[in-house]
Amino acid sequence: MPHATTVTEFCGLVARSKLVPEAEVNAVHHKWRQETKGTDEDVDAFRKYVVTRRFLTDYQAAVIQRGHADGFYVGDYTILGRIGKGQSAGVYKAVHKSGQVVALKVLPASRAKDPNLLARFQREGRLLTQLDHPNVVRAFHVGQAGSVHYIVMEHLDGETLDEVLGRRKKLPAAEAVRVVWQALSGLQHLFDRRTIHRDLKPANLMVIPAAGPGQADTTLEATVKILDIGIGRELFDEDSPDTKDLQITSEGAILGTPDYLAPEQARDARSADVRSDVYSMGCVLFHLITGRPPFTDKNVMTQMVKHATEKPPALASLVPGVPPGLQGVLDKMTAKKADERYQVPAEAAAALRQYLPDHLAGPAVTDLLPAFKDWLQSESGMDIPAEPRKPATGPAPALATPIVPSGSGTYAPVPARPTAARPAAAQASPAQVPSRPVAQPSPRPVAQAMPLPAEEEEISVELVTLPPPAPVVQAMMPPMEEEERPLSDLNRRDFIMLGAGGGGILVAIGIGFGLAKLMKRATSSDEASDTAAGEKPEPSGK
């Protein structure tokens, strides 16, 4: 679709998008002309004007300037901006018609055609909506609008640990322990709900809030949230029809992230259990403290063999001042044999507790607008307390749900999370709620500057499938850029990517076989040396 090259074209697209009513678009256009004496060619200046006055968000204005008037609505949600792009789904900041700001994870129509991707996406939605813990991202609803599928989540205003590490390289031990301790609390909740994660890495752990400009760059006040349980698994569901997909997805994950992968999970994704998650969290702890993962080989195969056979370097050899006992806890989290690890995340969390900083801030929890709660209740039957409780603050146990080992070695059930107020972080300011014919208040112009997006900002217009709009402009337009084409138009690069993806899976299968062979060889040489030492080998059963 052609770019808007004049303010008139831009205004036409805004009106067609229904983000701002036509009369209001005309009024603001008129006002801008009067105030600035701008010409019809000054599209950039006009775009800046409407964004600064919050008629549109950066993202909306960028998409419109690139010639698109659709793709701003998913069900009852208006898209405000793009937050992240995963391998298959996109994550967007959006606002519900009640004014509640949320994060929408969206599987576009073209991806939903793939039954494996759709099954994985729906599984993630199903798992997430069953979870309810301050250290796990909260999901409210799984929906479908036309052929677009989406998961409605609390909007987290923070940054991933990956981003924190990108900036700070490593964290002081007490800070690292606090982060991992929280994640372990969230993982225990997953386990209590019979779920394991299987893809724990810094990019899937979010800390909120992010350190603001001018503030101390620390996570000591932050809450950790586990994200992305897309390849998570409900335990004991091996017979479910999507198990095959899990295998493939996990091999894809192996290719991407061997840094934190437990040996048994590398051998066979289906053999992963909660202790594999404990191993991954041990590797994350190692990375946070030392600034590098336990094994740094670029070669995936070598790295996986090292996970299975080598001990990571001692913490003290890489960083000074690490409490000596912490090494023992880390060793137990990352033991090669799952039986020798902490058996559940709560045990590891309990062992880490003595290394936590003295004072811990309470968990950040997302406040929900009453109108959104009512809507959720009527739409999905989700029961959310009307009167949110205050978040706990104070010493260690209050940070997240306390983990209390019961006498039998199992753990006390995790009480429901407090749904208490973090002030207004997740509510749209009136100006953020775009006007829409359905019960949306009109945006109120406010004199607060918002940064304009970088030119290369990614956009997606494949959120909703609408009939092709009538052309608004007839002027000669520049050719469409790569980023702007609808995702349904496959091009050469897509075929290359698809080929690479398929090739990747074959490589992963090869790696799996190779590793299994190596492990087998290692075992038989162990047996051989046992036998040589006079031990009688176990009968083979033949």
Ligand X SMILES: Nc1ncnc2c1ncn2[C@@H]1O[C@H](COP(=O)(O)OP(=O)(O)OP(=O)(O)O)[C@@H](O)[C@H]1O
Active-site residue list: 199
**Nearest-5° angle of CA 523, CA 528, CA 532?**
150
Which part of the chain contacts ligand X (CB under 6 A), choosing from 78-86, 396-404, 428-436, 474-482? 78-86
Is 48 annotated in a binding site? The answer is: no
Contact 279, 333 (CB under 8 A): yes
C-alpha 60: how far from chain center: 22
Identity of the residue, 358 or 456, whose beta carbon is nearer to ligand X in the bound complex? 456
Q: How many residues bind ligand X (CB under 6 A)?
A: 20
Told to check if 153 binds ligand X by CB under 6 A, we report yes
Told to check if 160 binds ligand X by CB under 6 A, we report yes
Convert residues 220-259 into a mask of x (bound to ligand X by CB under 6 A) and - (unbound): -------xx-x-----------------------------
Amino acid identity, position 209: P
CA distances from 147 to 18, 109, 110, 242, 465 (A): 21, 5, 9, 20, 7
Identity of the residue, 126 or 311, whose beta carbon is nearer to ligand X in the bound complex? 126
Told to check if 155 binds ligand X by CB under 6 A, we report yes
User: Smallest distance from the beta carbon of 199 to ligand X, in angstroms?
Assistant: 7
Amino acid identity, position 100: Q
Q: Which helix (H) or strand (E) holds 154?
A: strand 148-154
**Do strands 90-96 and 73-74 pair parallel, antiparallel, or not at all (unpaired)?**
unpaired
The CB-nearest residue to ligand X is 86
User: Smallest distance from the beta carbon of 163 to ligand X, in angstroms?
Assistant: 8
Between residue 358 and residue 387, which ones bind ligand X under the rule CB under 6 A?
Answer: none
Among 118, 156, 284, 344, binds ligand X (CB under 6 A): 156
Which part of the chain contacts ligand X (CB under 6 A), choosing from 68-76, 85-93, 236-244, 419-427? 85-93
Told to check if 87 binds ligand X by CB under 6 A, we report yes
Q: What is the Cα–Cα distance from 481 to 289, expressed in whole angstroms?
A: 43
Told to check if 333 binds ligand X by CB under 6 A, we report no
DSSP code string of 28-92: HHHHHHHHH---TT-HHHHHHHHHHTTSS-HHHHHHHHTT-----EETTEEEEEEEEE-SS-EEE
User: Smallest distance from the beta carbon of 94 to ligand X, in angstroms?
Assistant: 11
Q: What is the Cα–Cα distance from 2 to 67, expressed in whole angstroms?
A: 5
User: Smallest distance from the beta carbon of 207 to ligand X, in angstroms?
Assistant: 11
Q: What is the Cα–Cα distance from 14 to 27, expressed in whole angstroms?
A: 13
User: Smallest distance from the beta carbon of 491 to ligand X, in angstroms?
Assistant: 21
Convert residues 91-130 into a mask of x (bound to ligand X by CB under 6 A) and - (unbound): x-----------x-x-------------------------
Identity of the residue, 99 or 312, whose beta carbon is nearer to ligand X in the bound complex? 99
DSSP code string of 198-242: S--SGGGEEEESPPPTTS---STT-EEEE---TT-EETT-TTSTT
Count, residues in the chain? 542
Among 28, 64, 203, 351, binds ligand X (CB under 6 A): 203
User: Smallest distance from the beta carbon of 284 to ligand X, in angstroms?
Assistant: 15
Q: Is the dihedral of CA 254, 270, 91, 279 positive or negative?
A: negative
Q: What is the Cα–Cα distance from 444 to 433, expressed in whole angstroms?
A: 9
Identity of the residue, 384 or 446, whose beta carbon is nearer to ligand X in the bound complex? 384
User: Smallest distance from the beta carbon of 461 to ligand X, in angstroms?
Assistant: 18
Contact 235, 195 (CB under 8 A): yes
Convert residues 162-201 into a mask of x (bound to ligand X by CB under 6 A) and - (unbound): ----------------------------------------
CA distances from 381 to 130, 375, 376, 384 (A): 13, 9, 7, 9
Interface residues with ligand X (CB under 6 A) are 83-84, 86-89, 91, 103, 105, 137, 153-156, 160, 203-204, 227-228, 230
Binding residues for ATP: 105
Binding residues: 105
